[in-house]
């Protein structure tokens, strides 16, 4: 029997397998070197920007900028710095963004990509110091079908033009989710938005009222109790529930007519959820006597006695 | 020279705090988690430990029991995290944390506080 074809076939298969393994190894090596280079560049860029922000002006040089992936690293570094710090001199950050054309580059990227890549580009853009003109350029993404893209476009507008933040949030055509309210509050904590909660709570726009409630809850503003009680007794169930949670987060008295009204209209799962929150906030079971049925009180007492609160 | 330990699994945050303290003539070490923090604290007596997450203290453990030798007030422990509920802050202070700051943090304020803390040890 002639074995030659089999030997040739085996040799070919072995050669192809060896070549594939070599390519795979080369790719892994390239990725490892790239990850190492990215880590070094990230630290170097951060050091450069931080030095300019903390110690005053100076030339900012970003080595290897223009090579593949380096602009993303610089954008992520500046965005990261912007999101976890406050009170830094924005001048050097603006110079870096303008000098490297990061805003134009991210806008181009948002235009060319779709879906979550576009949302990612917009999220980076929202955390950079921007000119007001950028706010208009991302306006078209507010009509996107992707919720994430829509909201990040709004964040870019809020960050670029804080003076029109209330109008833009009011005109936003979709109701904010809890995560989106938290996103707006993150901008507020960076000092980009005003903390005037009064007009927000009385606004006819639902999104603005939700942001107002978020501000009251975030900063524990006890002066807003009367407005919170008004919202708790309002017809809008979701808003009323949030106002009630805001009241509870400030440990205010539950012996009000509006509170009883809201709790009476809650479904059983909602009431259970509220009981868990009340236990977390440390309300005594005596404070709930008039608000909950006798059947629900053992659940609350079990929660209090479970010492789950003590874990935190 | 004073010694500072930064504890965070986020390399960016770790670098940020390390680089912001770089001109203060301090020796800065980094640890990625609670185990790393305990291991480094067994070897070196730090003046200050900066933990960049509150989660380390919220699992029912008492990490500072091993970090701070009995009878000593060193190392001072600062926690920087996002949570700002009263309950979290009280829990951290009860766990032995000396200072709690929330993100977004002012680097100037942090540097001033660290400088004050280190001067107090002289």
DSSP B29-63: EEESSHHHHHHHHHH---SEEEES-SGGGSSS--T
Per-residue DSSP letter, B27 = E
Are A47 and B87 a contacting pair at CB < 8 A? no
ipTM over 0.90: no
Share of residues in chain A with pLDDT > 70 (%): 97
The tens digit of pLDDT for each residue in A147-182 reads: 999 999 999 999 998 888 889 998 998 999 989 999
Best of B8, B12, B54, B59 to substitute, by most chain A Cβ atoms within 10 angstroms, is B12
**What are the counts of helices (DSSP H) followed by strands (DSSP E) for chain B?**
5, 5
Give the integer Cα–Cα distance in Å for A283 and B70: 36
Helices (H), A70-146: 70-84, 90-100, 102-112, 115-126, 133-137
What the block records as the tokens of A141 is 């993404």
What the block records as the tokens of B79 is 């926690």
Nearest to B107 by CA among B10, B7, B20: B20
Strand partners, B49: B5, B77
Cβ contact A121:A86 at 8 Å: no
pLDDT in single tens digits along all 122 residues of chain B: 889 999 999 999 999 999 998 888 889 999 998 889 989 988 888 999 999 988 888 777 777 888 887 777 788 999 999 888 777 888 888 888 899 999 889 999 999 999 999 887 65
Q: Is A80 on the interface with B (CB under 8 A)?
A: yes
Are B107 and A39 a contacting pair at CB < 8 A? no
Are A42 and B107 a contacting pair at CB < 8 A? no
What is the reported pTM?
A: 0.82
Which residues in chain B are closer than 8 Å to A278, comparing Cβ atoms?
A: none
Are B59 and A86 a contacting pair at CB < 8 A? no
């Amino acid at each position: 029997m002639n074995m030659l074809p089999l030997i040739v076939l085996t040799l070919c298969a072995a050669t192809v397998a060896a070549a594939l393994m070599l390519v795979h190894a080369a790719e892994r090596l390239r990725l490892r070197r790239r990850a190492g280079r990215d880590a070094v560049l990230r630290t170097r860029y951060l050091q450069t920007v931080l030095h300019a922000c903390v110690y005053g002006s100076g030339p900012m040089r970003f080595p290897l900028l223009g090579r593949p992936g380096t602009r993303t690293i610089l954008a992520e570094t500046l965005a990261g710095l912007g999101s976890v710090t406050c009170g830094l001199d924005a001048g050097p950050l603006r110079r870096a963004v303008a000098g490297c054309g990061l805003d134009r580059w991210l806008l181009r990227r948002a235009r060319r990509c779709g879906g979550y890549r576009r949302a990612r580009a917009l999220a980076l853009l929202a955390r950079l110091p921007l000119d007001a003109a950028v706010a208009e350029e991302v306006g078209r993404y507010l009509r996107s079908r992707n919720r994430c893209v829509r909201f990040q476009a709004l964040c870019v507008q809020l960050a670029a033009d804080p003076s029109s933040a209330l109008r833009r949030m009011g005109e936003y055509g979709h109701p904010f989710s809890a995560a989106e309210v938290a996103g707006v509050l993150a901008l507020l904590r960076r000092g980009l938005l005003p903390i005037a909660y009064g007009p927000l709570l009385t606004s006819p726009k639902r999104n603005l009222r939700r942001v107002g409630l978020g501000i009251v809850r975030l900063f524990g503003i006890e002066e807003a109790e009367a407005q919170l009680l008004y919202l708790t007794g309002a017809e809008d169930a979701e808003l009323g529930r949030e106002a009630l949670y805001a009241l509870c987060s400030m440990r205010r008295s539950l012996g009000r007519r509006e509170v009883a009204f809201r709790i009476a209209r809650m479904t059983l799962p909602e009431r259970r959820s509220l009981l868990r929150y009340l236990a977390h906030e440390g309300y005594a079971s005596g404070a709930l006597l008039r608000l909950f049925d006798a059947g629900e009180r053992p659940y609350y007492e079990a929660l209090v006695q479970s010492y789950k609160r003590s874990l935190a | 020279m004073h010694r500072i330990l930064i504890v965070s699994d986020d390399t960016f945050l770790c670098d940020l705090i390390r680089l912001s303290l770089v001109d203060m003539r301090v020796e800065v070490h980094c640890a990625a988690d609670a185990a790393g923090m305990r291991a480094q604290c067994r070897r070196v007596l730090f003046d200050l430990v900066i933990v960049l997450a509150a989660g380390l203290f919220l699992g029912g453990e008492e990490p500072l029991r091993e970090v701070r030798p009995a009878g000593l007030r060193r190392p001072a422990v600062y926690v920087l995290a996002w949570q700002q509920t009263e309950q979290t802050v009280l829990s951290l202070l009860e766990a032995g944390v000396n200072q709690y700051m929330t993100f977004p943090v002012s680097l100037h304020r942090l540097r001033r506080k660290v400088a004050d803390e280190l001067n107090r040890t002289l």
